[in-house]
């Protein structure tokens, strides 16, 4: 469980960094900033890798989080890198990531309360 919580912390950190870097950014600005696109893509991959390492039992305890989609996105970015759809990266960054933050933050808050 401790390792799972560490991985959730990594995912949440990646999500918050994505949110911080895309906050107030227009789609046009995102499209014209290759470095930002690469950074966001890398953060999504990193979050997916951390999600991939979660135990099945932990995932089952938290079915509200779309674990399979997070891992699946990582697989697409890593293994189909020549066909990355920047529209999907933008959607994940601006729509899915805020939802993910709201799903993950309570998990870590609850576990912090359990530790005391």
Q: What CA–CA distance (Å, rounded) separates 62 from 57? A: 9
79 is a catalytic site residue: yes
Choosing from 17, 20, 21, 74, which is the catalytic residue?
74
| Alpha carbon separation from 22 to 3, 53, 93, 107, 116 (Å, rounded) | 29, 26, 7, 24, 35
17 is a catalytic site residue: no
Choosing from 17, 21, 59, 79, which is the catalytic residue?
79
Question: Looking at the annotation, which residues are catalytic?
Answer: 74, 79
């Amino acid at each position: 469980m401790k390792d799972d919580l560490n991985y959730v912390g990594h995912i949440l950190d990646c999500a918050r960094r994505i949110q911080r870097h895309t906050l107030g950014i227009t789609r046009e600005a995102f499209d014209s900033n290759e470095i930002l696109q690469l950074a966001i893509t890398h953060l999504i991959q990193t979050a997916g890798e951390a999600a991939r390492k979660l135990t099945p039992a932990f995932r089952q305890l938290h079915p509200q989080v779309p674990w399979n989609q997070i891992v699946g996105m990582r697989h697409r970015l890593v293994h189909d890198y020549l066909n990355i759809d920047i529209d999907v990266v933008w959607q994940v960054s601006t729509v899915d990531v805020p939802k993910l933050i709201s799903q993950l933050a309570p998990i870590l808050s609850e576990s912090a309360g359990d530790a005391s």
